[in-house]
Amino acid sequence: MKETRLFEIVAEALELEVENVSLDTSTENVEEWDSLGHITILSALDDETGGETSELPDLTQAVSVRELLEVLKANGMINA
């Protein structure tokens, strides 16, 4: 998956415009990113990766796009 696809997934999951999603998008500054929003993001990532992200418990603790990206990169799921 490309980094830009992560931004699209988060935008779709939280019903935001993709241009409003950045590395700094987080639970602290996006009202829609509540517990349900987080589950929606994780579910969308799981769908995108054919279930691979469900094996990454660190994703459940990620509270920003930057943290999601770091976990995905560390597990070889983001390509340039």
Could you tell me the mean pLDDT of each successive run of 10 residues in the chain, 80 residues long? 97 97 97 97 97 94 97 91
pTM summary value: 0.94
- Alpha-carbon dihedral sign for residues 29, 31, 35, 37: negative
User: Which residues, 6 or more positions from 45, have their beta carbon under 8 angstroms from its beta carbon?
Assistant: 6, 9, 53, 59, 68, 72
Structural domains in the chain plus CATH codes? 3-74 (1.10.1200.10)
